[in-house]
Amino acid sequence: MKTLIVNEKYGIDHLNLTPGQVPEPKADEVLVKVAAISLNYLDLMVIRGDFGHQIPHIPGSDAAGTVLRIGSAVTGFLPGDQVSTHFTPGWQSGNLTPEGLENRLGIDAAGVFSTYICLPETALVKSPVNLSAQESATLPIAALTAWEALHEAGGLKPGETVLLQGTGGVSVFALQFAKLAGARVIITSSSDEKLKRARSMGADHVFNYKTEPDWLEKVKALGGVDLALEVIGTGFKESIQACRFGGRIIIIGFLNGAETSLSIFDFLQKKLTVKGVLVGSKGAFSQMNETIEKAGLHPVIDKIFPFSEARKAFEYLAAGKHFGKIVLDLN
C-alpha cells in the first residue's frame, strides 16, 4: 500500500508516496481498493498550507474504486461494489448545518490519496454504472458542486440563461448539467482553444474576456443571465453586472482571491439573490448519479497521470492549463 503524504514542509515538492499497511475496516467502515483519484484546487490549497494542517498530512477528497471488505455494521455496500468518496460525510441529506461540515475528507479528517482506504459508509456513494473508475473519481467535489449550484441552490429552470467562468472541473460539469436541463449557457475564458471546446459541448455563447473587453455589454445585449456561478471571487462585480433583474448568483470559489469591493446599490436595484455553496449532500450526490446514468453523461478528463507522478499532476493543476478534470491512475 502507498499513500500520498505532505511531510516535513508544505508544498508540492514535499509530496511523497509513503509505504504502509492495508487498513482493517471497523464495524461501521468499508475497505476500498482505490483505482483512481482526481485533483481539486482545494487539494492544492491544503498542500500549500492554506488550512494550516499539522504535517505530515494525507490530502485528498476525490477517489473511486472497489469495495473489498465491509464492517459488521455496514448495510449499504457489499464487496465488489464500485464506489466514489463523499467529501462531507456529516451531510447526508437536507439542508447543510454546521455539523455537516465535520470530518470533511482531506480537511478535518485524513484524506483519501492512497491505494487502500477505510471509510465509514456515510463517506461513500455507489458510482454511476456507465462510468469508469477514472470518471467516477471526478464526481465528489467538482460535479456535485456544479449540481448543487445549479439545481439545489440555483433553482435552474429550462430556458434560463447561465453564466459560467472558466473551463475548470466545476464549470465544465456545470456546462454539461445546464445543457441537460435545457438552459442556455454563456461561458468565459482567456483561451480561444478552450472556448472552442466549450462551444463543441453545447455552450451557446463564448467570450474571451482578454480579447473581448466589452464582453459584458454583449451579455447584456443578449438579455443578461438568470443564474451566475462565481468561481473567481474577484469576478463578483462582473457577475452582478451580467445578471438581469431578479437574477441569482451562486458563489462556489475564489480562484483569484476572496477580497473584492461591492456596491450594495447594485443588489437592491436588480433585486439579486446571492448564495454560497459548499459541495452537496450524499442524497444530492445519489440523485446526480442517477441523472448521469440516465443521460449517459461522461465527465471531461483533461489528463491522466500515474500515481507516481502526483507532483507533476499538481504542477499541471497549478498552471491552470486544464480543461475539465485531472486524474491520477492507481492501477
181: exposed, middle or buried (Cβ count in 10 Å: 0-12, 13-18, 19+): middle
pLDDT at 237 over 90: no
The DSSP H or E segment spanning 161 is strand 161-165
25-34: average pLDDT: 98
Mean pLDDT score across all residues of the chain: 94
Which pLDDT does position 236 carry in this prediction? 75
pLDDT tens, residue by residue, 159-184: 999 999 999 899 999 999 999 999 99
Q: What domains are defined for the chain?
A: 2-138+299-329 (3.90.180.10), 144-276 (3.40.50.720)
User: From the centroid of its chain, how far is CA 108?
Assistant: 18
The Cα 114–Cα 2 span in angstroms is 6
Q: Tens of pLDDT along 239-298?
A: 999 999 999 999 997 555 566 667 777 778 899 999 999 999 999 999 999 999 999 999
Mean of pLDDT values over 59-63: 97
β pairing state of 225-230 and 161-165:
parallel
Closest CA to 34 of 138, 139, 137: 137
Provide the greatest CA pair distance for the chain. 61
The answer for residues whose C-beta is within 8 angstroms of residue 219's C-beta and 6 or more apart is 163, 186, 205, 207, 225, 242
For 166-264, strand residue ranges (E) read 184-189, 205-208, 225-230, 243-251
Q: Which three cell numbers stand for residue 277?
A: 455553496
* Predicted local confidence at residue 261, as pLDDT: 66
